[in-house]
Each structure stands twice: as C-alpha cells, then as structure tokens.
Structure 1
Amino acid sequence: MRTIGGYADTEWGQVHYRRNGESGPWIGLFHESPLSSRVYEAVLPLLGRHARAVAFDTPGYGASDPPPSRHTEIPDYARVLAQAAARIGMERPVLGGVHTGASLAIETAAALPGGVCGLVLSGVALLDDAERAAYLSRWTPEVPFDDHGAQFGWGVERYRRIWGADVPPELLHLAVVELMRTHDRYDWAYQAAFRHDPAASLAAEPAPVLLLDAEFDLLADKDPRALELARDARLLTLAGLPGQPHLRVPDRYAAEILAFAREITPEEREPLS
C-alpha cells in the first residue's frame, strides 16, 4: 500500500504526517531530533499491511510549522501533536518514538482525551542532573556556515560520531539533509527534550509499554529505570545493534510493533500474512 502525506490543522499551524494503511489498530510514530517522519519511510508500508500507521513531523521539523518560540517545552509539543492525531481520527492508538520521539509519545499519550492502548519506546531520556546539564550545554552547538559548505561537512562528521563510523551512506545522507533543512532551529526540540524529565508521566501511564531498543543505543542504559517506572513494561533488546532500529532493521522494528499492538488490542486481531 502506498504511503500518503497530509497535514492536520493545530493551534500552531499545520502538522505534517505520512500515513499508510486503511484498517486495523492506529499506530502513531514520533521521530528523534532533528529529523522528520522520513525516518519511518521503510517502516510505514510494513505497518500499513495490518494497521493504520501514521508518522508525524514534530512541529518545527520536516514539513510541520514551528512552535511559537525556541522555549517551547515537550508537553506543549505533545499537546499540539495530540491535536493533530485527533484531527485525523486517531483513537486509542499505540504510540511509538525514538529519543525525543519517546518523550513525545509519553506526553502525547497523556494529552489524548481517550488515552492510548500502549507505548513503544526506544531510548527514553531518563537523565540525571549532571547528564541533563551536559547535554544542554554541549549537544547542540551552532551550525557553522561558510562559502565552502562547512555546514555539510559538519553534519557528516556529527552523524558519523553519534551514529558510528560505519553508518550506511543512505542513512548518513538522510540525517544530514534533514538536519540542514532546519539548521536555524535544529536545537529547539533537542533542548526541550533535555530540559524535560519524562519519569513522572511514564510512571503515571496505565497502558502497557514495550521498550524496543538497540543494544548499544546512546540511552540504552536508561532502560532498567524505565522498566522500574512503568506500571506494565517489558524490554526487548535488539542485540548487536548500535542504534536507530527503525532505520537499520525496519522489518524487525515493524514486526515487533505489530505483534505488541495485536497483543494489547485483541479486538483488532487478524491473520498476519
């Protein structure tokens, strides 16, 4: 089935999304900073065989209108994303997200009037005070610009450093292009995520949680605490994977989300083929 794009009107303007699938449970996906819903391009058709899958561009990223200022907080982003989800008819979805997207999924679940059926989280930013301060001060330097294209080399170096020197060229290209699209505000949601502590909302969430994480993800060491905080949680670690499960192993990522969704929404069960 073909993935289609669309826009939902919200208090901040339009939120862009990609959608695949016409029946089955709703699945909503949120991306890491500073990228876009493009990171789910390979995942959406796989989910769309058995679900109504939607990947949103965080406000200010991809093709979504930006928030009113750089000082917007994660619950504010989540409120607007909940408006977008409601606008397209999502009811009791399974929400998933990676890094910033994980925090957005947790807070959007709290903002949706009907709640969610479950959460699929990869890299929950349960930072201590020292880690929070370090990320806030060091993670988002100003993008360099000159007439030789220093910004592009900087972007390549950045993603080779944080995603690994062996990152596949197509993933490196995707990441750098998306970063360059929002170079003047790439840090907005990053900084909001570093300021935000998702612990209380995760602990308050009544729906089941699947922690679907790469073994060597930057935030994999936070999974044990996430397991302790959530009321009903399980951990599935993708062995040997350095990070980015949705990009590096989209088949496995989609299969695990579908299996989880079918388990927690039994009324939606249908044969998988």
Structure 2
Amino acid sequence: MTTTRTKGGYADTDWGQVHYRINGDSGPWIGLFHESPLSSRVYAEVLPALGRSARAVAFDTPGYGASDPPPGPGFEIPDYAGMLAQAAAGIGMERPVLGGVHTGASLAIAAAAHLPAAGLVLSGVPLFDAGERAGFLADWTPAAPIDGTGSQFAWAVERYRRIWGADVPRDMLHLAVTELMRVADNYEWGYRAAFRYDPSDALAAADVPVLLLDAEFDMLAGKDPLAMELARDARLVVLPGLPGQPHLRSPDRYASALLEFVRELTDPKEGR
C-alpha cells in the first residue's frame, strides 16, 4: 500500500493560527491532540500509518509547537478545545474520531462538545482527585532557568529523563527537549489548564464509543478503570511492556489499534 506524505498547514481561529500536520486524502477523519508541552511532532510516525486509510490530522495546541498562543495564561481546557474545534472545522473535518495523550486526552474529550465526533481514543486520561490536582499545580511546572549559559537545556534533559525514564531513547529525548525549549517562557500555560480541568463530567456525557488505548506502565494507566466506569461505551486496549508514550515508543501498534477502532465505527460489517 502506498505511503502518503505528511503535509503541514494553518487554520484560523479566534486566537490566531493553529498549526497542523495532515496525512491521507480520503476516508474517515481522525484528529489528534498532544501532551503538554510538546507538539504535533509526537505523531510524526503515526500519521503516515493512519493516512493509508484515513485523513489523519495532528494539531499543535495553542501556545505550543507552531500555533499562536492564547491571549494569556488564564484560559481553561474547554477554551483551548474550542479553538482546536474551530481549526478542525476550518479544514473541513466532519464527524472525526478525536484522540489524545494526557493533556491531549482532555482536549479530545472537551473538543467533542464543540465538534460532533464519531468516537474518542484516549491515552492516559487525567482523572485526578483534588489532592492530586493540587500537587501537580504546586510542583509540576517550575520556571525554566533561562540564562546566558544554557542551564535551561540541562534542566530540560534532566526533567525528561526523570519523567520518561533514564533509558528514554535519544530521539524521544531530543524531541521533548527541543519542543519544551521552543515554548520555555510560557510552557506551563497549557499544563496548568490541564491540571485545573476535571474531564469526568464531559467524559460521562460523551455519547460516543471510547477506546482507552494505553501503555501498560503509563503514569496515568491507573486511571483507566475510572475512565471505563465513566464512559458510556468504552473498551480498553493496553500495549504491553511500554512505560508510557505509546504513540512515540510503538507508533505502529498505536496506529493499528486506533485504525481497528475507526473501522468498527465506520464499517457496519466490522461490528463488535
């Protein structure tokens, strides 16, 4: 099967332009949202696999990657999701399957309230209790030590080796560090919006099938049982052996599971 080429583009929103990457010329729409504070680059290897049989789009969250930032730091996940839904509608997406990882999972859930979706694919839903939210808000986003000696780069390397593990592959580490440095001045804006947001009610209200597609040892994998209880029509697929970041560590398996779910939704003969 021919591999299609990933292309980039921009869509206008009330906050300015949202950057996206797209692969595929026909078939069902898939919209993907990334974790904070990275960008659509995290889906670089997933998009070509999806684009063989779908139109797959990965968006840069406002303020990250090449998307314009929100007007200030006080906006919430539904505000971000509204802008991403504007971008999706602006490029002609209709009844997409929306998916995301961590912050991106919350964005996908919230965007479904603005843009009618066919389904949700969620990896690591941030279903924190009040104490967990308070802890993340207090400790997770210290200021980057930006100075003339490059301390910020060593800080970013240490941060991702701590979060993703000391054995994180070099290419993943480089991607994470460069994307964080790109937005170091305001990297916490989307993060803190994600920590303030409780996706429970929106997930429970989403009247669409939900695929929980998670890495076995993801830091939020323990929230999957709660997500299963909240969602009206949910199934869980666990990619075994992965410490997290299923879209980066195993893009082929991630894309395959996502496409199988999309086929169930779009082809009656594939019914459950």
Question: Match for 2:13: what amino acid?
Answer: T
* Secondary structure at the counterpart of residue 111 of structure 1: coil
Cα deviation for residue 147 of structure 1 reads 2.4
Counterparts of 2:200 and 2:31, CA distance in 1: 21
- 2:102 and 2:126 in contact (8 A); partners too: yes
1:142 aligns with 2:143: yes
- 1:99 and 1:122 in contact (8 A); partners too: yes
- 1:143 and 1:183 in contact (8 A); partners too: yes
Question: Match for 1:14: what amino acid?
Answer: Q
* Secondary structure at the counterpart of residue 120 of structure 2: strand
The answer for unaligned runs of 5 or more in structure 2 is: none
- 2:47 and 2:57 in contact (8 A); partners too: yes
- 2:97 and 2:117 in contact (8 A); partners too: yes
**1:158 maps to which residue?**
159
Deviation digits for residues 193-243 of structure 1 (CA, Å, limit 9, x no counterpart)? 000000000000010000000111111110000000000001111111100
Question: Match for 1:25: what amino acid?
Answer: P
**1:45 maps to which residue?**
48
Question: Match for 2:145: what amino acid?
Answer: P
Counterparts of 1:185 and 1:60, CA distance in 2: 8
Counterparts of 2:147 and 2:111, CA distance in 1: 39
TM-score by length of 2: 0.97
Cα deviation for residue 267 of structure 1 reads 6.5
* Secondary structure at the counterpart of residue 198 of structure 2: coil
**2:36 maps to which residue?**
33
- 1:25 and 1:268 in contact (8 A); partners too: no
**2:60 maps to which residue?**
57
1:2 aligns with 2:14: no
**2:22 maps to which residue?**
19
Cα deviation for residue 268 of structure 1 reads 10
Q: CA RMSD in A?
A: 1.0
Structure 1 residues 229-240: aligned runs within 5 Å = 229-240=230-241
TM-score by length of 1: 0.96
Instruction: Count the aligned residue pairs.
Output: 267
- 2:160 and 2:177 in contact (8 A); partners too: yes
Structure 1 residues 116-265: aligned runs within 5 Å = 116-265=117-266
Counterparts of 1:101 and 1:268, CA distance in 2: 30
Question: Match for 2:93: what amino acid?
Answer: M
Structure 1 residues 85-124: aligned runs within 5 Å = 85-112=88-115, 115-124=116-125
Counterparts of 2:189 and 2:99, CA distance in 1: 21
* Secondary structure at the counterpart of residue 184 of structure 1: helix
Question: Match for 2:180: what amino acid?
Answer: L
Relative to structure 1, the CA distance from residue 190 to residue 41 in structure 2 (aligned partners, 3 Å threshold; closer, same or farther) is: same
Percent same amino acid at aligned positions? 73
Deviation digits for residues 14-40 of structure 1 (CA, Å, limit 9, x no counterpart)? 000000000110000000000000000
Counterparts of 1:267 and 1:202, CA distance in 2: 25
- 2:239 and 2:253 in contact (8 A); partners too: no
- 1:37 and 1:57 in contact (8 A); partners too: yes
After superposing on structure 2, the runs of 4+ consecutive aligned residues of structure 1 that deviate more than 6 Å are none
* Counterpart selection for 1:76 from 74, 79, 84: 79
Counterparts of 1:240 and 1:22, CA distance in 2: 34
